[in-house]
Amino acid sequence: MARSLAAWVIAVNLVTLVSVQAADAPTATPNGDTAEMARIKGSTISKLVWKSLTAPVLEETTSMGKKTYVIFRGTLDQADWSLLQKANTVELSPEGDFETEVLLDTPQTRFELTAVGPLGEVESEKFEIKIIPTPEVPATQMPAQRLTFSTGIGPTLVTYKQTLIPDFQLIALTAKLAALYSLVPLRWDLGLNTSFTLLKLSSNSSQNVRFLGFNASVGYRIPKIDSPWQLSILGGFYYSTMLIPATGFGYQDIFGPQLFPTLKRELKNGDSISGYLKLSPVTDGISLLSLSNREFGIGAGWNKKLKNGRHLIFMMDLSNLNLELQSVVVTSNAIHASIGYNF
């Protein structure tokens, strides 16, 4: 009984030891680089053939620290021969297949293999390994986040003229919200954005006038434009209105199609600059009004890349709105500067 109990305890301890060792065994993972091997001129091992002269660089964390190495596989087609790497025997299969592990201490590492025959014949060969870093993928080719959002805020100067109404001027703080979704990466985009008067800073009128705008667009990036330039054509729908308590002043609920091309240039440091033109005819809900009823816009921006991969967005926009509705003529000009952030 005592012997059985002792045997059972030993068996449990052995199983526990094997389990712990298996759990603690380090796992090698590729670090993304590639090792390339080349023979060094000199003596050779005549029957040595490598399966591949490249292999992934592996990393492993052990109790002694981080270990970087590569494993090459080959065949020694010599019966009864043995293979050595330094003083260590390289295990050969019955067919002569083997694998050898080489520690990579420097970007260029050398090692030597020695083959020993059954009659004492000796052949040796030296090899050099170079580490080839994984090439960086250009930002324009990287799989980007498909849905992004951005916010912006800044001052707007509005000068507004209307038949039989005193000229109106407003300096206000305007906020912007935008969302962009990549329908087809690097080709088709869907954009939604809105802007609204957040706070009146100064005005020549006591009336509390606010502006609200919304637009939706689909953009197509022209494929034959070489990097770092990007040309896109956007089209969609817009809506604009003035929120004002007084009657007979301002415009309400104007909308229509819009078309605007944008040109963008990527800079070497990850920043980019861009510009756009916008033409938005006004419709009465059924058909377009005369060509004099339209909004024209132009703008330019600078996207400053941050360390976290996001961007600060600096924009300058100018717009001109003309409306001729019956006997009333409206002209509204706006200059807007903003700083924003995308996420």
**In this predicted model, what pLDDT tens digit does every residue of 4-15 receive, in sequence order?**
444 443 443 433
**In this predicted model, what pLDDT tens digit does every residue of 181-222 receive, in sequence order?**
999 988 999 999 999 999 999 999 988 899 999 999 999 999
Say yes or no: 35 and 118 in one domain.
yes
Say yes or no: 165 and 282 in one domain.
yes
Calculate the average pLDDT of the chain: 86
Say yes or no: 114 and 175 in one domain.
no
Least confident span in 168-172, 230-234, 306-310: 306-310
Say yes or no: 49 and 183 in one domain.
no
- Burial (CB count <10 Å: 0-12, 13-18, 19+), residue 60: middle
Say yes or no: 272 and 324 in one domain.
yes
Least confident span in 49-58, 151-160, 190-199, 210-219: 49-58
Least confident span in 19-28, 120-129, 243-252, 284-293: 19-28
**Residue 127 is part of a domain; what is its CATH number?**
2.60.40
- Among the candidates 109, 132, 155, a domain finishes at 132
- Among the candidates 68, 103, 132, a domain finishes at 132
Domain count, the chain: 2
What pLDDT, on the 0 to 100 scale, is given for residue 34? 85
- As a whole number of angstroms, the distance between CA 135 and CA 146 comes to 23
**Residue 274 is part of a domain; what is its CATH number?**
2.40.128.100
Say yes or no: 168 and 74 in one domain.
no
Least Cα distance to 157 among 179, 178, 176, 172 occurs for 172
What pLDDT, on the 0 to 100 scale, is given for residue 26? 57
User: Nearest 5 degrees, angle CA 281-CA 185-CA 226?
Assistant: 80
What pLDDT, on the 0 to 100 scale, is given for residue 132? 84
- Residue 217 falls inside a structural domain: yes
Residue with tokens 């030993």: 10
Say yes or no: 92 and 211 in one domain.
no
- Residue 11 falls inside a structural domain: no
Which structural domain range is residue 99 located in?
29-132
Provide the CA 44 distance to its chain's centre, in angstroms.
Answer: 48
